[in-house]
Amino acid sequence: MLIVPEREIADLMTRDAAFDAVEKVFAAMAARDAYNFPVVREAIGHEDALYGFKGGFDQAGLTLGLKAGGYWPNNLEKRNLINHQSTVFLFDPDTGKAKAMVGGNLLTALRTAAASSVSIKHLARDDARVIGMIGAGHQATFQLRAALEQRQFEKVIGWNYHPDMLPNIEKVATEAGLPFEAVELDGIGEADVIISITSAFAPSLMADHVAPGTHIACMGTDTKGKQEVESALLAKASVFTDEVAQSISIGEAQHAVAEGLIKESDVGEIGAVINGTNPGRISAKQITLFDGTGVGLQDLAVAAAVVDLAVEKGIAIEVDF
Ligand code: NAD
């Protein structure tokens, strides 16, 4: 069995490799070559932790496994460890033998950023020049860094519920040589692409805030009850997702579906757009919305890519197991 420790991931994994792995696995999901297993998520009654498993099998890429981990809210204060902790386990689909154990913390951020980037590549207008961020926490910086590679953006604008966090995304814009402007929510309509990545349980972005032709990637809602954008916005937009079942149950579309504003059949798969079986954006005035809920296959895809890179560079630790 191979081990790729968390400490090695930053030097091994590139944004390009994460993007390719995620784009490929979304396509495989839409072609029914890959599927996710039901998610397990439990409050374990210890340290207030939420622990669970996200797994799947990609028959096209021959990737089988799971990500185990969750959220330990006291880690940072008590132990100087980050609160999100996860590990990916890969298995040989021919034999069932454990194949690799890979640190999953940084990979989670990279695969989540890759997902919205894939949506921008396939759904945003080619002439998108202004990108708007809603959210300025840990994931937001990864999201912005990856998104900037998808179009010739000339300006970053941003809004955050906690304005004191905005320098986090301003720093990414500055590093990319782009101007940054903090805006009120009614100013976010200047953006051609909006990424929303917050832990909110009530909408910030309203349908009226968004101009025709905008692409929105809603990346924060991954649990029942969370919500980042007004349901009416989904009714106005063409909605796409990584996995429809998750989108309508734990993703941003859960609210619009529950309120009867859209139906399950209104939600398209981003993989079908990648495969060319769904046309995706068909006009410059259309609002497109990607509901990125986060699937186990994304984790397995980036973990398999990083194992290959670690083997190539002689960094993978081999243990007799
Ligand atoms: P974080 O704690 O670092 O940042 C949280 C962000 O949410 C900050 O910008 C904060 O200001 C904002 N926020 C908090 N309360 C708010 C409110 N009431 N209204 C509006 N904004 C509010 O968290 P993070 O690590 O950046 O994660 C952000 C979200 O992304 C979380 O909900 C997390 O579960 C989700 N996430 C999704 C995926 C996926 O695949 N879709 C993957 C990883 C994380």
pLDDT, tens digit, 9 for 90 and up, residues 277-304: 999 999 999 999 999 999 999 999 999 9
Ligand 1 pocket member 199 (CB < 6 A): yes
Residue 178: predicted pLDDT: 98
Structural domain 126-293, CATH architecture: 3-Layer(aba) Sandwich (3.40)
Residue 123: predicted pLDDT: 98
The CA-CA-CA angle for residues 54, 10, 73, to 5°, reads: 50
Homologous superfamily (CATH) of 2-108+297-318 is: ornithine cyclodeaminase, domain 1 (3.30.1780.10)
Residue 167: predicted pLDDT: 98
Known catalytic residues?
A: 67
Closest-CA residue to 32 (of 271, 240, 250, 267): 271
Tell me the pLDDT band of 78, cut-offs 50, 70 and 90. Answer: very high
Cα 132 from Cα 135, distance rounded (Å)? 10
> Range(s) for CATH 3.40.50.720 in the chain?
126-293
The mean pLDDT of the chain is: 97
pLDDT, tens digit, 9 for 90 and up, residues 158-216: 999 999 999 999 999 999 999 999 999 999 999 999 999 999 999 999 999 999 999 99
Ligand 1 pocket member 294 (CB < 6 A): yes
Residue 292: predicted pLDDT: 98
Residue 141: predicted pLDDT: 97
> Range(s) for CATH 3.30.1780.10 in the chain?
2-108+297-318
Ligand 1 pocket member 192 (CB < 6 A): no
Give the ligand 1 atom nearest the CA of 201.
Answer: 18
Residue 171: predicted pLDDT: 98
Query: What average pLDDT does this structure show over 114-122?
Result: 98
Neighbour count for residue 32 (Cβ, 10 Å): 10
